[in-house]
């Protein structure tokens, strides 16, 4: 029994590689010829799983990149002839075209305001376009019948078997390293809660674009090998039916497991080759029926269902150690207001939720926003942290106008936002969530786990006080509501913002915890010169910690003054207790 | 005679957080009970749990003696329960008439008598049935919610912050219609309110929710306002 | 010119008829039914069975509608209902169902291509030109179908309930509307309409197990840009279908075949709500 997971993994990979290298000695020619294809398909299934199972991007387009890779080889050899230079050039061209197309698809599919379903739609369209382009290529592409019989590499069947087998193994191993790394946790974080990632300052669209392009290159490599081996290229290598088949294999094998999709692709494709010949329609029928049953009854797929029968208790991963970073220098230019809002409005159609909002807040101020339900408090916070939200007016952070900037860009200006309901990553551990929050300060490695997380003192205080420090290895979904609130606050503080927007940070916390967090907030303001904007319903809490209070009512600022002025106001009291307001309000 | 509504030790919440804890409250036939409390104390969640939009994690909900815990909302509504939620409470794209018609039980087509009865309080109902509900003013929308809830003479009315954002005259009229319907048909009402004055003026009893538990309850008498204010104080 | 206008109008009519079932399912259930192509194929084969058994070609479409409704009702109960809370899985499961339908049909009827006799044949003189009689009938059918669906949605209790569920399901439930039942009826109706459309296009195209696939993609894209509105679907069918006809006629048939999906994809990128308001 191996001692460490790393060693155990290494032994498993060595055994798998040895099996791949030795298998051709034991298998008959037909089995070898089929398995080469199955292995290549398995490798693309792994990329579909990383995209969909881990990062939540359901792409039907992986088949298209497979097709592009295959046509790159086939066309180059048909048009120019086979030479090492042409072969390498075709390889480079296939990968480059795939990456470029994937980048274009990412630009289209991960744009602002685009629905999450759109990436699936656009990858479907991509596959349709690919096929139509091949059809319209005439003799050049061989149209609907494709091309065959071109010169190809002088590699034996056994050689191709070993290449394809090692390629699949490499895809699984590299995939496993990626998904277990810090960057891999980010992929899951994006799937779980893209919004939170963006408010951690991460340009998620870029991350997904890079992932899509990387997956496209792997699929193109597989397609290139496929064309080299089979000596046949045809439009159906890249059509959406094949793209969908890949998704089916991933769902059957178990999304988010890597080994499940790889195994499902190899087994189903291999079985198809045998049974597809004798019982073609029944075999397809069985796959379809099994697929429906799995989706309805075992959404996690067959792999995890089988594994859970054999599984010992899950391996505990030791949580990283926490360290404290020196507090950042207090924010930029003290002469400029930390946040300046002028003439801000927000309307939905004819409904004005915010109108004529003007205020500034400076470093070292803790400004509370209060007002009854529907006054527009949360909408205001949203307009301050996302340039696309407001209908009119301007917002500047430390003198820099946010314009129409996306949340991640606002965060880079020094903004931190805590949401009203706890907005965290349910399936990540507490440590991983904190790690993601620090991603802007410390790059996430794509191949390993950091051994320690450095956090500013304020974030560590929150963790200590709420007991989260002892729960670093706990998955966030097992935390209580209050602990999630505290975690999100710690995550926001970990980003070392200079302007902090907090929407009900203490809802769901106990009295003691609230007092403590109040202390941390006032300390951040007084000692570190942060500017905090706080939305709170608990006026007692507001009174204790605020330096100023802004009262919002029906989308306008009703009052902006000191704690004493606001709490003594008859008007505010009447709004809160609901006695009819004066008609002129 | 069994209570029109009996909330018996109900615990409910979202995800892992419990918004309501062991809430016990009952409303007798013909009784008006006001549920008061600050924002975020679980008032709306209480109504949603009574209607079945949120499962009760513990405890039972009984409507006119029948245990409805675990049944879907439309089954509860079919037990002559009318519900006026706080947010998105009308179909903006439908006409006033269509909004009203949706409250009729399946198979019942005639609502003329109900509209005539309620038009005494809300005259615009009779004349503007073909108007799109989204184009009504805020106050008219609230009146439409109330009218739709009362159209079929329910035995139990659950209504969530009907006075929010309304001018005093409209609030007065809403109070009148509740009193008149109660006198005419003995309807039981569970009223969730932030407007303490309105709530105590129509209610027989009040209950204050604080952090998901009933912190205080009592008759809506002369002293009630002072006792409630203590719980809601700034 | 008249010929081109008729081509545009009749193409739009056919697209509208084909996509209408998908639209109402999507509108009420918020689920894209990828078995729509399969249901379409079922309709085509229903027409084949009816006519081969000696039935009148006029009976083909009504028979297909009934077959579609029955099939849709069964599918809703067994496959779709458990997946309401998982819309993405519902798309995948209905895709799997599409595969199953195609394979079952292949097992029963073989892979070959079949032809269904048209209730009317040849061309008729219309607007000063000779034009395919069946395509003109499709135009009439589309208008009648749009009117019937509008009447169903606007004029009946079921339609009112369906619109209420589309707009705000929770509020509808609170008023005593059984949204599960509304969904069931809607899905069955959507499947019925798909099969109905499948039978109606048989006089124009051959019947084979994969006949639904190209239609599915076009219908899917049309529904995405139309949201939940029949009027938007009519507009989208006219504009995108018109673009297809014009590009195929004056440009390149390959581009023509792509025009609906590509234009719809571009439109959705610029304006995620498509032709729908919002």
Mean pLDDT of B98-109: 87
Quote the minimal CA–CA distance from C173 to chain B in Å.
5
Mean pLDDT of C30-53: 94
Residue ranges of domains in chain A:
8-239, 338-577
**How many A-C residue pairs are in contact by the CB < 8 A criterion?**
89
pLDDT tens for each residue of A394-433: 999 999 999 999 999 999 999 999 988 788 999 999 999 9
Model confidence at C160: pLDDT above 90: yes
Q: What is the pTM of this model?
A: 0.87
Residue A477 phi, psi (nearest 5) = -65, -20
Model confidence at A574: pLDDT above 80: no
Q: How far apart are CA A36 and CA A230, in angstroms?
A: 10
Model confidence at B234: pLDDT above 70: no
Mean pLDDT of A328-353: 78
Asked if the C-beta of C164 comes within 8 angstroms of chain B's C-beta atoms, the answer is: yes
Coil, strand or helix: which one is B82? Answer: strand
pLDDT tens for each residue of A60-115: 999 999 999 999 999 999 999 999 999 999 999 999 999 999 999 999 999 877 88
Residue in C closest to A297 by C-alpha: C82
pLDDT at B177: 93
User: Across A236-336, where does the E strand assignment appear?
Assistant: 321-325
pLDDT at A80: 93
* Beta pairing class for B205-210 and A147-148: unpaired
Q: How far apart are CA B231 and CA B210, in angstroms?
A: 8
A248: number of Cβ within 10 Å: 24
Quote the minimal CA–CA distance from A255 to chain C in Å.
12
Give the tokens for residue B8.
């018996």
pLDDT at A314: 55
pLDDT tens for each residue of A243-278: 999 999 999 999 999 999 999 999 999 998 888 777
* Closest CB from B39, B193, B234 relative to A373: B39
pLDDT tens for each residue of C163-181: 999 889 999 999 999 999 9
- Write the CA distances from A177 to A59, A261, A428, integer angstroms: 22, 16, 17
Residues in CB range of A140: below 8 A, 6 or more apart: A75, A79
Q: How far apart are CA A126 and CA C261, in angstroms?
A: 10
Asked if the C-beta of B165 comes within 8 angstroms of chain A's C-beta atoms, the answer is: yes
Asked if the C-beta of B126 comes within 8 angstroms of chain A's C-beta atoms, the answer is: no
pLDDT tens for each residue of C221-271: 999 999 888 999 999 999 999 999 999 999 888 888 899 999 999 999 888
Is residue C254 within 8 A of residue C240, CB to CB? The reply is no
CATH top class, domain B5-88+156-232: alpha beta
Asked if the C-beta of B160 comes within 8 angstroms of chain A's C-beta atoms, the answer is: no
* Beta pairing class for B213-219 and B205-210: antiparallel
DSSP state of C57: G
Measured torsion, CA atoms of residues A41, A47, A50, A53, in degrees rounded to the nearest 10: -40
Which positions in chain C touch A113 (Cβ < 8 Å)?
272
Which of A272-305 are b and which e, b meaning 16 or more Cβ less than 10 Å from the residue's Cβ? bbeeeeeeebebbbebbbebbebbbeebbbbbbe
Residue in C closest to A299 by C-alpha: C89
Q: How far apart are CA C146 and CA C13, in angstroms?
A: 10
Q: Which bin fits A569, alpha (ψ -120 to 50), beta or left (φ > 0)?
A: beta
Q: How far apart are CA C229 and CA C225, in angstroms?
A: 10
Give the tokens for residue C90.
């519902």
Coil, strand or helix: which one is C240? Answer: helix
Using CB atoms, which chains have 3+ pairs under 8 A with C? A, B
Is residue A233 within 8 A of residue A148, CB to CB? The reply is yes
Residue at token pair 């409630």: B228
Model confidence at A334: pLDDT above 70: no
- Write the CA distances from C95 to A248, A302, A468, C88, integer angstroms: 9, 18, 44, 11
Model confidence at A311: pLDDT above 80: no
* Beta pairing class for A400-401 and A392-397: antiparallel
Task: State the sign of the Cα–Cα–Cα–Cα dihedral A210, A212, A213, A217.
Answer: positive
CATH classification code of A338-577: 3.40.50.300
pLDDT at A2: 41
Model confidence at B155: pLDDT above 80: yes
């Amino acid at each position: 029994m191996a001692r460490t997971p790393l060693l155990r993994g290494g032994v498993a990979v060595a055994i798998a590689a040895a099996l791949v290298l030795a298998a051709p000695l034991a298998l008959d020619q037909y089995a070898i010829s089929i398995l080469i294809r199955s292995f290549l398909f398995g490798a693309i299934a792994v990329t579909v799983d990383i995209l969909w199972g881990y990062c939540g991007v359901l792409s039907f387009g992986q088949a298209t990149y497979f097709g592009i890779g295959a046509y790159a080889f086939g066309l180059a050899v048909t048009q120019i002839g086979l030479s090492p230079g042409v072969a390498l050039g075709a390889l480079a061209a296939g990968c480059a075209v795939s990456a470029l197309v994937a980048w274009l698809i990412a630009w289209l599919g991960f744009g602002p305001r685009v629905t999450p379903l759109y990436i699936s739609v656009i990858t479907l369209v991509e596959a349709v376009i690919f096929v139509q382009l091949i059809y319209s290529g005439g003799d050049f592409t061989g149209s609907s019948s494709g091309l065959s019989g071109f010169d190809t590499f002088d590699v034996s069947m056994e050689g191709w078997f070993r290449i394809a087998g090692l390629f699949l193994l490499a895809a699984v191993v590299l995939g496993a390293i990626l998904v277990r790394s810090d960057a891999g946790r980010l992929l899951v974080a994006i799937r779980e809660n893209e919004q939170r990632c963006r408010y951690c300052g991460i340009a998620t669209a870029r991350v997904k674009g890079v992932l899509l392009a990387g997956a496209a290159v792997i699929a193109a490599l597989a397609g290139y090998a496929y064309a080299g081996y089979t000596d046949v290229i045809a439009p159906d290598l890249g059509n959406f039916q094949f793209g969908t088949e890949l998704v089916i294999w991933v769902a059957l094998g178990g999304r988010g497991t890597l080994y499940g999709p790889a195994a499902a692709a190899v087994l189903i494709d291999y079985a198809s080759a045998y049974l597809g010949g004798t019982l073609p329609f029944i075999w397809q029928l069985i796959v379809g029926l099994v697929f429906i049953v799995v989706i309805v009854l075992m959404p996690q797929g067959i792999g995890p269902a089988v594994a859970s029968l054999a599984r010992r208790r899950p391996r505990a991963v030791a949580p990283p150690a926490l360290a404290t970073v020196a507090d950042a220098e207090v924010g930029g230019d003290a002469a400029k207001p930390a946040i300046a809002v002028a003439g801000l409005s927000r309307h939905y159609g004819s409904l004005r939720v915010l109108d004529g909002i003007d205020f500034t807040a400076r470093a070292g101020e803790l400004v509370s926003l209060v007002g009854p339900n529907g006054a527009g408090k949360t909408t205001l916070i949203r307009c301050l942290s996302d340039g696309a939200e407001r209908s009119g007016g301007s917002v500047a952070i430390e003198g820099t106008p946010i314009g129409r900037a996306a949340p991640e860009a606002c965060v880079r200006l020094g903004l931190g936002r805590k949401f009203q309901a706890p907005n965290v990553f349910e399936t990540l551990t507490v440590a991983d969530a904190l790690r993601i929050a620090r991603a802007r300060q410390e790059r996430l490695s794509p191949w390993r786990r950091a051994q320690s997380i450095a956090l500013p003192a304020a974030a560590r205080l929150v963790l200590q006080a709420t007991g989260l420090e002892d729960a670093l290895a706990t998955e966030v979904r097992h935390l209580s509501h209050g602990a999630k609130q505290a975690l999100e606050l710690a995550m926001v503080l970990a980003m070392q913002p200079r302007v902090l927007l907090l929407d009900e940070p203490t809802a769901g916390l106990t009295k003691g915890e609230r007092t403590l967090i109040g202390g941390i907030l006032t300390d951040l303001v007084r000692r570190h010169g942060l500017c905090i904007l706080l939305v709170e319903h608990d006026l007692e809490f507001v009174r204790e910690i605020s330096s100023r209070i802004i009262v919002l009512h029906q989308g306008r600022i009703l009052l902006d003054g000191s704690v004493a002025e606001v709490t003594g106001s008859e008007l505010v009291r009447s709004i809160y207790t609901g006695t009819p307001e004066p008609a002129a309000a | 005679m069994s209570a029109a509504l009996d909330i018996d030790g109900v615990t409910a919440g979202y995800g892992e957080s419990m918004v309501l804890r062991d809430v016990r409250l009952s409303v007798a036939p013909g009784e008006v009970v006001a549920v008061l409390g600050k924002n975020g104390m679980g008032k709306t969640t209480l109504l949603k749990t009574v209607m079945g939009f949120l499962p009760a994690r513990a405890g039972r909900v009984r409507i006119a003696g029948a245990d409805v815990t675990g049944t879907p909302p439309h089954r509860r509504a079919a037990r002559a329960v009318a519900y006026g939620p706080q947010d998105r409470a009308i179909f903006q794209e439908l006409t006033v008439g269509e909004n009203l018609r949706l409250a009729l039980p399946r198979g019942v087509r005639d609502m003329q008598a109900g509209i005539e009865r309620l038009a005494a309080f809300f005259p615009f109902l009779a004349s503007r049935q073909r108007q799109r509900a989204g184009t009504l003013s805020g106050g008219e929308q609230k009146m439409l919610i109330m009218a739709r809830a009362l159209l079929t003479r329910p035995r139990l009315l659950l209504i969530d912050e009907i006075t929010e954002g309304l001018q005093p005259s409209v609030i007065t009229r809403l109070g009148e219609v509740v009193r008149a319907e109660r006198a005419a048909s003995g309807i039981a009402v569970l009223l969730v309110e932030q407007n303490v004055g309105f709530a105590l003026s129509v209610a027989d009893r009040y209950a204050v929710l604080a952090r998901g538990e009933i912190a205080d309850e009592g008759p809506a008498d002369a002293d009630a306002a002072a006792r409630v204010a203590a719980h809601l104080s700034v | 010119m008249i010929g081109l206008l008729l081509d545009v109008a009749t193409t739009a009519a056919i697209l509208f008829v084909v996509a209408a079932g998908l639209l109402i399912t999507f509108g009420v259930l918020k689920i894209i039914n990828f078995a729509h192509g399969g249901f379409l194929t079922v309709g085509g084969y229903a027409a084949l069975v009816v006519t081969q058994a000696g039935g009148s070609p006029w009976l083909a479409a009504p028979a297909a509608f009934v077959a579609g409704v029955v099939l849709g009702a069964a599918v809703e109960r067994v496959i779709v209902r458990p997946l309401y809370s998982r819309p993405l899985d519902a798309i995948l499961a209905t895709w799997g169902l599409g595969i199953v339908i195609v394979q079952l049909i292949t097992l029963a009827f073989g892979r070959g291509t079949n032809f269904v006799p048209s209730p009317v044949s040849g061309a008729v003189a219309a607007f000063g030109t000779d034009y395919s009689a069946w395509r003109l009938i499709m135009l009439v059918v589309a208008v009648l179908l749009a009117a019937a669906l509008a009447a169903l949605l606007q004029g009946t209790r079921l339609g009112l309930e369906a619109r209420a569920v589309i707009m705000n399901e929770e509020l509808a439930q609170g008023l005593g509307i059984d949204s599960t039942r509304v969904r069931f009826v809607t899905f069955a109706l959507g499947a019925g309409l798909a099969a109905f459309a499948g039978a109606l296009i048989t006089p124009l195209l051959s019947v084979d197990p994969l006949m639904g696939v190209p239609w599915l993609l076009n219908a899917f894209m049309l529904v995405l840009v139309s949201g939940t509105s029949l009027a938007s679907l009519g507009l989208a069918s006219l504009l995108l279908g018109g673009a297809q006809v014009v590009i195929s006629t004056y440009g390149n048939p390959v581009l023509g075949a792509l025009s609906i999906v590509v234009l719809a994809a571009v439109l959705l990128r610029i304006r995620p709500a498509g032709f729908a308001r919002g």
